[in-house]
Amino acid sequence: MADFCKQCSIEIFGEDFGDLSDITTKMKTKDGIYAFVICEGCGIIQVDHEGKCISNDCLKNGHVKDVE
């Protein structure tokens, strides 16, 4: 099964299906601790508790700025 970060899901499907959400916790995100995952759209990345790509060097050229 293909998994997508929040930004790729919105870009490809028009909505966030939450494939990579809740892998880590809100508290860990607050502490700057993220989960390493594979997004089918942007490669090996780190995501926060919402499944949002926070990697500036992903294959999508760091689309971390795309979703607030």
Q: Which two tokens stand for residue 20?
A: 């990579």
pLDDT tens string 1-14: 799 999 999 999 99
Expressed as residue numbers, the domain containing 18 is: 6-66
**Domain tally, the chain:** 1
The whole-angstrom separation of Cα 39 and Cα 28 is 20
In a domain, residue 1? The reply is no
16 in a structural domain = yes
Q: Are 5 and 53 in contact (CB under 8 A)?
A: yes
Digit-coded pLDDT (tens) for 15-61: 999 999 999 999 999 999 999 999 999 999 999 999 999 998 999 87
Rounded to two decimals, what is the model's pTM?
0.87
22 in a structural domain: yes
The answer to whether residue 28 sits within a structural domain is yes
What is the C-alpha end-to-end distance of the chain, expressed in Å?
27
In a domain, 45, yes or no: yes
